[in-house]
């Protein structure tokens, strides 16, 4: 929380000029007094937004110097490379929530470089659509792409947040399934809407098409009009989808076909290759697969959630995450029982949409001996 006064008092014109140069973004309230609704709402926001500098002036001479009238709320911003400050005047109702959202939108430059310092403002913005340009900064191909990217970012400012991502940021590249050799390229990341759990991704112009005339503009227009379907990162399906243990391998491209099949009850383990708990579960899950191998209505499946994207309504927060998709109702149900064959078996039997009977071990052995 901010310590001391919520906003710096700007009593003289020199104070205002110095304050504007204090940091890249400042917000100034040109208010008549510290009485009334305007000041109370302004103060609420100033106390809440720790990452923005707020100033206030009640002096008419300062108002006139700034060419603002009493009651104006102004955001001044000047980023590296800018010749002078950009002035943005608030035109909404004097309500704290509205003012905070307005600042959240306008405090960012036209294109933000992704970093630890900027990530909070990017993902904390009221704008939930981030357009990302992945490129090798300094290379001719990146400079050409950035020129087009900035033009489109300017024309869509306030609708999207334009973000540049260096192609040596392995974590972000891996999250979107982008190889360095594929840059420059563009993706859109959309934060969850009501009813959705994860981030939606949209694949945009590639290295080969990004600088084509109108290509990026067309992509953004299609996205903003709701015409695009989310892109899911997907590994290549294995030659044999069902392994020797009876466990089905899911990837992004075959998930819906297998999991949403209305004739199948499907148990899915979302795992990560490096996860210790997942490695401990593997032999148990293989035994479970063997046990259900001859039950046509039940699928025991697994998905590497680091190499593939599940649908956006499926929330995978940690590894392993295990969910059940009933044949007659594909709303995912979290499994939180014992991670044993017995625990899984009992859960599937109780929740399955299609009745089934497992062979008893004794009968199975006898049948094997007869063969």
Q: pLDDT at residue 287 above 90? A: yes
What is the bridge-based pairing of β-strands 53-57 and 8-9?
parallel
What is the bridge-based pairing of β-strands 129-135 and 111-113?
unpaired
For the chain, what percent of residues have pLDDT higher than 70? 95
Q: pLDDT at residue 23 above 70? A: yes
Q: What is the pLDDT of residue 362?
A: 52
Q: What is the pLDDT of residue 371?
A: 40
Q: pLDDT at residue 101 above 80? A: yes
Q: pLDDT at residue 232 above 70? A: yes
Q: What is the pLDDT of residue 363?
A: 47
Q: What is the pLDDT of residue 83?
A: 86
Q: In what order do the strands lie in the sheet with 247-250?
A: 247-250, 298-304, 265-271, 321-326, 329-334
In this prediction, residue 82 has a pLDDT band, given cuts at 50, 70 and 90, of: confident
pTM of the model: 0.74
DSSP alpha helices (H): ranges in 183-329?
215-224, 255-259, 276-291
> Which is more confidently placed, 190 or 82?
190
Least confident of 89-103, 168-182, 239-253: 168-182
In this prediction, residue 360 has a pLDDT band, given cuts at 50, 70 and 90, of: confident
Which residues are 26's β-sheet partners? Answer: 53, 76
Residues in contact with 228: Cβ distance below 8 Å, sequence separation at least 6, in sequence order: 202, 219, 222
- For 102-126, letters b (16+ CB in 10 Å) and e give bbbbbbbbbbbebeeeeeebbeebe
Residues in contact with 187: Cβ distance below 8 Å, sequence separation at least 6, in sequence order: 131, 132, 134, 176, 178, 201, 202, 203, 204, 231
**Could you report the per-residue pLDDT of 292-318, keeping only the tens digit for each?**
999 999 999 999 999 999 887 888 889
Q: Rounded CA gap, 212 and 222, in Å?
A: 16
Q: What is the pLDDT of residue 368?
A: 44
- What are the percentages of helix, strand and coil residues in the chain, rounded to 5? 35, 20, 45
Residues in contact with 75: Cβ distance below 8 Å, sequence separation at least 6, in sequence order: 25, 26, 27, 87, 88, 90, 102, 103, 106, 107
Residues in contact with 5: Cβ distance below 8 Å, sequence separation at least 6, in sequence order: none
Q: What is the pLDDT of residue 192?
A: 77
- For 194-217, letters b (16+ CB in 10 Å) and e give eebebbbbbbbbebeebbeeebbe
Q: What is the pLDDT of residue 194?
A: 61
In this prediction, residue 274 has a pLDDT band, given cuts at 50, 70 and 90, of: very high
Nearest to residue 355, comparing CAs of 285, 303, 295?
295
**Could you report the per-residue pLDDT of 37-74, keeping only the tens digit for each?**
999 999 999 999 988 999 999 999 999 999 999 999 99
Residues in contact with 124: Cβ distance below 8 Å, sequence separation at least 6, in sequence order: 104
In this prediction, residue 3 has a pLDDT band, given cuts at 50, 70 and 90, of: low
**Could you report the per-residue pLDDT of 193-226, keeping only the tens digit for each?**
666 667 889 999 999 999 999 999 999 999 999 9
The DSSP H or E segment spanning 265 is strand 265-271
Q: What is the pLDDT of residue 81?
A: 81
For the chain, what percent of residues have pLDDT higher than 90? 81
Residues 231-256, mean pLDDT to the nearest whole number: 94
What is the bridge-based pairing of β-strands 111-113 and 185-190?
unpaired
Q: What is the pLDDT of residue 36?
A: 87
């Amino acid at each position: 929380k901010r310590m001391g006064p919520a906003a710096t008092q700007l009593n003289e014109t020199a104070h205002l000029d110095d304050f504007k140069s204090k940091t890249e973004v400042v917000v100034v309230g040109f208010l008549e007094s510290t009485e009334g609704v305007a000041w109370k709402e302004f103060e609420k926001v100033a106390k809440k937004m720790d990452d923005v500098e707020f100033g206030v002036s009640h002096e008419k001479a300062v108002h006139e110097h700034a060419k603002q009238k009493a009651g104006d709320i102004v955001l001044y911003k000047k980023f590296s490379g800018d010749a002078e400050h950009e002035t943005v005047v608030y035109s909404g109702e004097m309500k704290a929530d509205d003012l905070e959202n307005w600042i959240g939108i306008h405090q960012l430059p036209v294109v933000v470089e992704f970093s630890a310092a900027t990530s909070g403002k990017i993902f904390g913005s009221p704008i939930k659509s981030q357009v990302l340009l992945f490129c090798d900064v300094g290379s001719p191909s990146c400079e050409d792409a950035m020129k087009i990217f900035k033009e489109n970012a300017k024309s869509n400012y306030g609708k999207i947040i334009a973000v540049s991502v260096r192609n040596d940021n392995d974590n972000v590249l891996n999250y979107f399934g982008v190889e360095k050799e594929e840059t420059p390229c563009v993706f859109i990341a959309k934060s969850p809407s009501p009813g959705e759990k994860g981030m939606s991704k949209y694949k945009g112009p590639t290295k080969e098409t990004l600088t084509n005339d109108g290509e990026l503009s067309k992509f953004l227009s299609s996205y903003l009009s709701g015409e695009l379907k989310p892109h899911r990162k997907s590994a290549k399906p294995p030659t044999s989808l069902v392994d020797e243990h009876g466990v089905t391998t899911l990837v992004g491209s075959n998930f819906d076909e297998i999991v949403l099949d209305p004739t199948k009850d499907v148990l899915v383990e979302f795992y990560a290759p490096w996860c210790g708990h997942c490695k401990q579960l593997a032999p148990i899950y293989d035994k479970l697969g063997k046990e259900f191998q001859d039950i046509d209505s039940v699928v025991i499946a697994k998905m590497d959630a680091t190499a593939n994207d599940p649908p956006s309504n499926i929330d995978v927060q940690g590894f392993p995450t295990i969910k059940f998709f009933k044949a007659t109702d594909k709303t995912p149900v979290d499994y939180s029982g014992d991670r044993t064959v017995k625990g899984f078996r009992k859960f599937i039997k109780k929740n399955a949409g299609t009745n089934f009977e497992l062979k008893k071990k004794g009968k199975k052995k006898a049948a094997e001996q007869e063969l």
